[in-house]
Every structure is written in C-alpha cells, then in structure tokens.
Amino acid sequence: MSRKELKEKEIEFLAQEYEKAPQLFQQETFIDDSEFLKKFGIFIKEKGKLPLGYIKFWPQDFIVEEIGETNNTHTINLGDFFDKKRNFSDKDPTIYATLVKCGLSTIEAVEEISSLLKIDKKQIQFAGIKDKDAISSQLISLRKTKIKDFETIHSPYFFLKNTYSEKGALGPGFLKGNEFTILVRTDSSFSKKNFIENSNKISKEGFYNFFYLQRFGTPRLINFYWGLFILKGDYQKAILSYLCSPGKREVPYFINLRDKIKENFGDWQKIEAALRPFPIIFQNERKIITYLKNNPKDFTGALNQIPEQVQLWLFAYASLLFNKKLSSFLKRGVEPPSKLPLILSDDKKEWLYYRELLEENGITSIPFQHLKPFPYVRWQKREIKIKERVRILSFRIVSEGVILNFSLPKAAYATTFLAHLFNLVSGLPTKDFSSLSIDTKATLGKESIEEVLNRFSEIIQSKTENILKRLS
C-alpha cells in the first residue's frame, strides 16, 4: 500500500475518533518566547521586546532550496526529468536528481522512494535534512538503481527533476548552504522601523547559532532525553520514554494513547494492536514494537530498528548542552569563544568542556561502552560556530507580514535567525494573523510558484483547516 493510501486510511480512522471526542483533538497556539526557549538552553537578549511572527501557516510560507558545493541552487520550480546541461549514462554507477517535496521530512521521503523502488534506503544518500512542514528541494544520489524504474515512481508528496549520472555519492555536509523564502505573518505588535533596524544589525554582526526546536523533535520536543538514556546505557528507559512520554505540543488524543501504551508496556501484542491504525504517525514506534514482539527483552536490538532516530536523539542531547553552554556566556555578559565543540567525540577535552552539565545528568566519563551497540554512530570532532552570518537577499513588507529571502551556510537554522527578529508563533493561528495564501516568490519579483502549488494541490492545506472535522 502506498504512503498516500496509508495516510488516507489513517485520517479516516482519526476522523471517526474525532467524531467521538472532538475535545481530544483541540489545538493550541504556541509562542516561542524567552520562558519557553529557556527549556532548550536558548537565551536571546531582549527577546521580550520582539514582535510576534507566525510561520508555516501554509507550506509555501516556508521554502527551502539547497545550495550545492559549486554554488548552484536546486530550485523548487518544475523542470524536466533529465538535466539538460548534464549527461546521463547507464554505465555510471550513481544517479543524481533534485528532490522537491512537501509534507515529508527528507528521511520520510527517502523511505518512500526506497519503498517504491524496492531498494535498501541505504542506497539513497543526501547532504542534509530539510523541513517537513515546508516546500523544499535538495540533491539526492542513488546507487545500483535502474533509470527505467526511477523514471516511473510517483507521489503526491514529491517529484524528481534534473536527473543525471556520475560517479561517487552524496554524504552529510556535501552542500554549501540553503536559500530560504519565508513569509512571517505579523500582527499589531510589528514595527517596520524596529524590524529594519534589527535586521540590519543582524546582517552586520550575525546571530547566535543556537540549535532550534526542530532539533528536539517537534511536536514532542523531548528527544534529547532519549539520547541521554542511551548514553547512560539505560536502553529500556529510552524506549519506555520514546513510546510513552507525552510531548509538550501533542494533542490530548495522542497523550492519552501514550498513557495506554505505558499501562501495557511489555505486552507488545496489545501495544501493536493499539498502534495498528497509525502506519504513518507511529511508523517508528511500530518498528520497535514489531521487533520486541519477537525479541521481548532485546531493547538494544529494538533501538537498532530505527538507526536514524537514534543518531538524531544523541545529537539532540549534544545540541542541548551546546545551547546551555552558549547561553551561560551570554547571560553573564561574557564574550563566548568563536566555536564550541559537540560531545560524541572521542576527545576527552570536548567532554570535559561540558563536565558540570554532564555530571548533573549522571555522566562522569565518556560512555564508550554504552554506544558500542550502535556502530552507525560516528565518533568524530565537531565544532560549531557560535555566530553565523545571514545574507539577506531581499525582503518586502506586505499587509500580511514580511517576506524574507535569505541564505544561510550549512548547519545553520532559519528559525534561529528568525527567532532573533520575532517571537515565533506556531500551532493554531489566531485571527490576528492573515490567512491569505501568497505567491512569495512572485511578490519578490522572482519566478512564480503557482505551478509548484498546483503540483502539490492534493496535499497542501492551511493550519486552520480541520480535515478531521470535515471528514467526520
């Protein structure tokens, strides 16, 4: 069954559940103010004075286009399947193509493509993970794949273009950065004068390079706990929390479902039945439960069913420590060093840098032995710049808010930059923000995105659309 069919069945089931108890699906409005961001180690001076800014009301409000190593931008615009400027040969070992997607994370898109092609997802490589709640484009590479099969795959969530062949393959970091076109919807708290002054200052001085909330697994925002439990060797607790701990921004229905899973923890068949209606939302949880049903006590093996997630959890914990360390300098008014290391290196000095924070979490030495069961976790030196520079290409203030077109180097978050300009708002939008869909690129004098929106019309919806209510 295709992802589209699975998603439709999932939504149909949830619509029936909504009809029984609509209050369990009540959405909230979330504001990333200074008090909330403090939980993730993020401190931005004078944050309370910034205006509110709603992002991702529509997927097209947040456009991400990858910039390759040679400064070529992989646009979201429709194009030919084969690249007109580059050759294709069946003799080359690797197929390269631009992936344009909407409503999928990069990891989910790779899983979908590998499923359609009936190949191992390890054969598909990419340079960076792009947002799910957005329209994004990036280069991917595929090895040991036949072009005749690749040409035929289709999904309402993505399309492929500019295909060519070559040697080699992509890998993490094989990009220069990303170009963003973002509409931030504003209300009466917005001041054009203050915005221009603040953006000009950031353009000159840069912004503090915090890891933002998506690093911590939205909407639950607790994945760093699971990374900590793995580092402490408590694999069962990592799985217990992953399956059962309620998220900070989950709707009550799923919080209740996690409570039921906790009540039946260890009865894997009963939990499998509870998760059966959710092949997409709980796809990773289902992988773990399927494994535990046949291997009831092998929690290490269960974690190895979701290797990409395990890596993300460990990086999330390392990112939390980075944020807290950086904030400790800023709160004291002390200029931080130009770079800070991340843990997950075999260099003792980098762990000692976070000694006090680690000891607070019960880690007193580098836990090599606890990461041995996960050979895909790479031990390597990683230093992160404290400040990043943004290149604002253009912006336009419209009645709905601000359209910003800017580029950032790799590993820098657009939301971190925006958080220095706004108190970001997500979730259920209030009536203070316009709901009008805007062709942001055309408004900035660039090529219209109308054809792209038509291509994704089947899946595009706004944050105010209650599809469950409509279906019920």
Domains and CATH numbers, the chain: 1-28+211-318+332-381 (no CATH), 32-60+181-209+388-463 (no CATH), 69-175 (3.30.70.3160)
The pLDDT assigned to 174 comes to 83
pLDDT tens per residue across span 401-435 = 999 999 999 889 999 999 999 999 999 998 999 99
pLDDT for res 378: 83
Of residues 469 and 426, more confidence is placed in: 426
Q: Is the pLDDT reported for residue 147 higher than 80?
A: yes
Instruction: Check pLDDT > 80 for residue 63.
Output: yes
Give me Rg for the CA atoms of the chain: 22
How many whole angstroms separate alpha carbon 54 and alpha carbon 463? 11
Locate 122 and state its tokens: 């390890």
Please report the pLDDT score of residue 81 as a whole number.
93
The set of residues, in sequence order, having a beta carbon less than 8 Å from that of 144 and lying 6+ positions away, is: 93, 119, 123
Only one residue has tokens 């994945």, namely 223
In this predicted structure, the answer to whether residue 357 has a pLDDT above a threshold of 80 is yes
pTM value > 0.85: yes
Give per-residue pLDDT as tens, 74-129: 999 999 999 988 888 888 899 999 999 999 999 899 999 998 999 988 899 999 88
- Token pair of 384, please? 């992160």
Q: 2-32, pLDDT tens digit by residue?
A: 777 888 899 999 999 999 999 999 989 999 9
Q: How far apart are CA 28 and CA 30, in angstroms?
A: 6
Assess whether pLDDT exceeds 90 at residue 346: no
Q: Check whether 171 has a pLDDT greater than 90.
A: no
- Residue 471 has a pLDDT of 65
Assess whether pLDDT exceeds 70 at residue 472: no
Q: Quick count: other Cβ atoms within 10 Å of Cβ 390?
A: 22
Pairing of strands 387-388, 207-208: antiparallel
pLDDT score, position 69: 85
Note the pLDDT tens digit of each residue in 36-54: 999 999 999 999 999 999 9
Residue 168: which pLDDT band, with cuts at 50, 70 and 90? confident
Compute the Cα dihedral for 3, 102, 273, 18 and give only its sign: negative
pLDDT reading at 170 higher than 90: no
Read off the amino acid at residue 253: Y
| Contact by Cβ (8 Å): 189, 109 | no
d(CA 167, CA 94): 6
The span from the CA of 361 to the CA of 224, in Å, is 12
307: preceding bond cis by omega (within 30 degrees): no
Mean residue pLDDT of the chain comes to: 93
> pLDDT-based confidence at 467, cuts 50/70/90?
confident
Could you tell me what percent of the chain has a pLDDT over 70? Answer: 99
Residues 6+ apart with CB under 8 A from 353: 325, 340, 341
In this structure, is the dihedral angle defined by the CA atoms of residues 225, 230, 236 and 242, taken in order, positive or negative?
A: positive
Task: Convert the pLDDT of each residue in 243-297 to its tens digit.
Answer: 999 988 999 999 999 999 999 999 999 999 999 999 999 999 999 999 999 999 9
